[in-house]
Every structure is written in structure tokens, then in C-alpha cells.
Structure 1
């Protein structure tokens, strides 16, 4: 599976960050909802969190201590606030008519511009019985540098099958990667530093054909490349952070981290999440670097 990304759990690990260091994280919160049992928007086998479960997730969010958290599978802003309180973060979510929405929690000292949602990622169309998620597209400013951020949660099922595979949701995922490719080409044309992060539902590696298709148009850094995740005893990464243009030079070496649920047992997985937060640190310059990758 490759060498494990470094796990962490202490706030002091981020205490030495400089003025324009930004800790960027992605965290799938696994059907985070307060809808009652029997609600048609939620599968019947999805468990419901108790107040204690929400308190534990909020405690883990404090321990994560990220400046920017891309989150997935969150059922609206009221639910998100129970994990990311408004005294610490501003919250932004897509307008998707689904219970598994994506969003971004941003520290108050980071300037934010909200760009049009990337609705094209819902390749099944808005009238589908089970529509897919759009992408949250935002621009962050730290110091004098800007970072364009796209938060995604792609179609599940096509973990590592070849591009020719016609089952396992692979045709749908290929369509979504084509949408990502168009978005990346726009960032290239505009010379913007960018990051794509979230749950790709794909075990991306540098040799993966979907990753290679993206890189054919724009060199990118797959921050999880060469690593396996220690989450819940060890697994391949499907939660990724991709960096392009000047953001590749901003990556602090060896800053990839996976936050484990310390003292949690296997039976706690459904009460917390089946995903662990993944993060990297970017060191934004006082003066923006050239955009070329």
C-alpha cells in the first residue's frame, strides 16, 4: 500500500506556522444529518448521531485546527455549525438539492470570494432521481496571494478500474473527470494557483489514467502520491488534495497529515466517520509567485 502518511494529534504541531501558512484539509463526515429515521432523503441503514457524537466531532475539528476545511456529506449549514462553530469559521455550502452536500469552513482572517458553483459535476442532470453533487468553487486570499479552491465529492464505485470499464460507475466518473479537466484548463488560462480537494472516490496515483488525463493539460501535485492512509487501521487514499500552478511551490514539504480518531474503537466508526481528515500546509508568499507549474 505504500508508506503511511504521518498521523498527528497534537495542537502544537501547527503552533509554529508563520503568518501566511495555511493548513488546508478535507474531511468526509459520512452522512452527517439530523433528519429523523424514515426520512426518504436518507438510506434506511444510515445511523443518526447523538448530541454526544456531535460534541466528539466538534472536539476533533478543534484538534484538527485547520485554517480551511473542505467537507463532504453534510446535510446543510445548521448541521455543519455543530462541528465548525461560527465563532471559529465561516461556512459555505453548495445549493445542491441533496443531503450529502459539500462545503468549506474558513477561518475569519482569510478573505473569501464565492465563485459560481460547478454544477456540471452533476453529470446525471438536476432532474435525476439521485442527482450527484456539484463542486464548491471559491477564491481564498492570504496576504497578497490568492488560491482558487474547488471542493468535490465524486461518484463512488470506480475505485481503480481501467478507463475502458463500463461498470462500477466508471463511465460516470470519467465524465466528472472531464468536467474537472475543463475547470483546470480555465485555471491555466487565467494563471491562477489552485487546489482541488475532497472525496474523489478513486485511489488516485501518479500512474492512474484519470490522474494522467488531468496532468496532460496541467502539471499538478498529488499530495497523497506514494502514501497510504493510516485511517481506521490502514487503507488507500480516496480523499485527495491536488495542487496546480503556483500552489505547487507553496506546499510545505512533508506536511501531509492524517488525523486519527484517538481512543476510538471500530464500533465508533459509524458515530464519527469512516473517513479521517487529510491535510497539507501551504506557505503563501507575501508576493505572488509566477503562475507556471
Structure 2
């Protein structure tokens, strides 16, 4: 009898240890396109969302079911709470007052600390529609800390070389150097890390100047490599990704193979892009 009890106790101990050793985290990124409660501050060509629009977005957020969601173009915790359940998620946003902000929603139960903003990414902090700071957090996992950076880089240099003598490409080149410094710091620490968000850059391959500058500081795995973006695909086919998830350090080994997913909207009417978002959520799983 005693032997049976001991075996049962050992079996239970092994079962309870499984979540710590084999747990998965769903890591996602979503640019929700001008999600704000301050409709008076929207540009003239942006239509404020109504309750129905927010309900649709909330439904997609629930279906996404991310453990950690990097956000872009969200106006702080109150706006995030309109589509993400605050009973399920804690929100983290940078110390700025812009309508468009990066941020994170992290499932309650995960231990998180917010690090100083990567404020240098906002090259024009005094502009009416300034560029965006990076939101920097650390999530404690069973395998060690995971440092995460949510970014939304300058638009207008999707394909051109960063050395082009135009304002947008010069700005992206400056932001790239700032990101490279952040990557170098994480590499020195030896920590698992990821950069997620809207890069506004169709990275064609490892020779892309932005990616090459980052990988010069540390090896990176780009989850979107080799895939096309099915979000709002036209009859001509899918588009190239401008949203990316870059994994560095031990996080590269945590990536579950073939786990990249894009949650495509069921609505097909092109007019719905303004009511939902011109970006779809993308996600990977880390084990």
C-alpha cells in the first residue's frame, strides 16, 4: 500500500511539474489603427469607430487569445480596454500622450515589469502626430526572463534603401540604429528577447538594410521569413509583411516551428478596413 501511495505521489509531482517545463506562450502583435477615445484628435480622413466596430474588434481579440499582445496605434489603457478584457489583461503603455502609441497587453498571472521607454525612437516628440516610442517590458517565464519591445516605426520607406536622401528613409535609418543599440544591449545581457510590431518595412530577405543592421549585433529569427501576409489579400494574392516578430537570444530556440499564424478578418468588404484595421493580428508560440 505504501509503495502505491509513493508511486501516486511521484506521478502527481510529475504532472504538476509539466506546465513549468512544457508551457507555451502565445506571443502576438496587432496594429489596431487609430484605436482612441479622443475622436476629436483624429486626422480628418479617419472615421471614428462606433460600438459595432468595437464589438467586432473585441470578438477578434477574444479569438486571438494571446498571452502577450504587442499593440500599436492604441491610445492607452482605456482604449485598449474597449476591445481587450481588463479582467484578463494588464496593460503597459509608454509615458507619452500621443493618440497613436505602442504598448502591451499581458495576461494576468504572468509576472511583468515595465522597463524605461525606448523614447529615442520618437524622433519628432513635439510634432502633432509624432513618431512613436518603443514600449519595453520583461516577462518572467519558466525558462528565464523574456525582454520584449513593441515598436511602430516611421512609414514611407517600405522598399527603398535607407541611404535614400529622403526624409522618411533617413528617419528609418536613425530608428534602425537605435534598435540596433537595443539589440546589442540585450545580446550583452544574454537574455531572451523579441522585437514585435509594425516596422513599416517589407523585409525582403537577410540582405535588407534594416535587418542586416540588427543582425550585425545579434543573430535573429524573423518569424515572418518566407511567408506572405494574407491580411486583406487582393485577387492578385497576398502582400509582403510589414509587421514582424524578431526573436533573439534563447527565444530563438523557444519558437515552436511552423507556429506563425495570421488572424484574417471574415469581413471581405474593403470598406471594413477602416472599421477594423488595415493590419491583422499575427502570432507565434514559444515553448
Whether TM exceeds 0.5 here: the answer is yes
For 1:214, what is the secondary structure of its paired residue?
helix
Cα pair 2:103 2:150 within 8 Å, conserved: yes
In structure 2, the residue matched to 1:260 is 264
Superposition deviation, residue 144 in structure 1:
4.2
Superposition deviation, residue 168 in structure 1:
5.7
Greater share of helix: 2
Normalising by structure 1, what TM-score? 0.86
* Cα distance per residue 1:26-49 (max 9 Å; x no partner): 00001112323xx2x321010111
* Cα distance per residue 1:208-237 (max 9 Å; x no partner): 111011111111001111111111012110
- Asked which structure has the greater CA Rg, the reply is 2
Normalising by structure 2, what TM-score? 0.88
**Structure 1 Cα separation of the partners of residues 88 and 165 of structure 2:** 45
**Structure 2 Cα separation of the partners of residues 145 and 53 of structure 1:** 39
**Structure 2 Cα separation of the partners of residues 207 and 258 of structure 1:** 25
**Structure 2 Cα separation of the partners of residues 211 and 172 of structure 1:** 16
Superposition deviation, residue 67 in structure 1:
0.6
In structure 2, the residue matched to 1:80 is 80
In structure 1, the residue matched to 2:246 is 242
In structure 2, the residue matched to 1:4 is none
Q: Does 1:251 align with 2:255?
A: yes
Superposition deviation, residue 248 in structure 1:
0.3
TM-aligned CA distance change 1:105 to 1:19, over 3 Å: farther
In structure 2, the residue matched to 1:27 is 30
In structure 2, the residue matched to 1:290 is none
Superposition deviation, residue 123 in structure 1:
2.0
TM-aligned CA distance change 1:52 to 1:19, over 3 Å: farther
- The RMSD of aligned alpha carbons is 1.7
TM-aligned CA distance change 1:111 to 1:228, over 3 Å: same
For 2:252, what is the secondary structure of its paired residue?
helix
Cα pair 1:206 1:222 within 8 Å, conserved: no
Which one has more relative contact order, counting CA pairs under 8 Å at least 6 apart? Answer: 1
For 1:113, what is the secondary structure of its paired residue?
strand
**Structure 2 Cα separation of the partners of residues 265 and 142 of structure 1:** 41
Superposition deviation, residue 87 in structure 1:
1.2
Alignment gaps of 5+ in structure 1: 1-17, 284-293
Cα pair 1:194 1:244 within 8 Å, conserved: yes
**Structure 2 Cα separation of the partners of residues 131 and 48 of structure 1:** 20
Q: Does 1:217 align with 2:220?
A: no
Cα pair 1:30 1:275 within 8 Å, conserved: yes
In structure 2, the residue matched to 1:138 is 137
Cα pair 2:162 2:172 within 8 Å, conserved: no
In structure 1, the residue matched to 2:101 is 101
For 2:155, what is the secondary structure of its paired residue?
coil
Cα pair 1:29 1:71 within 8 Å, conserved: yes
In structure 2, the residue matched to 1:227 is 227
**Structure 2 Cα separation of the partners of residues 128 and 229 of structure 1:** 31
Cα pair 2:152 2:198 within 8 Å, conserved: yes
**Structure 2 Cα separation of the partners of residues 115 and 197 of structure 1:** 16
Superposition deviation, residue 128 in structure 1:
3.6
Superposition deviation, residue 164 in structure 1:
1.9
Alignment gaps of 5+ in structure 2: 1-20
In structure 2, the residue matched to 1:10 is none
For 2:232, what is the secondary structure of its paired residue?
helix
For 2:66, what is the secondary structure of its paired residue?
coil
More deviation, 75-84/250-259 = 75-84
**Structure 2 Cα separation of the partners of residues 31 and 265 of structure 1:** 19
**Structure 2 Cα separation of the partners of residues 144 and 223 of structure 1:** 20
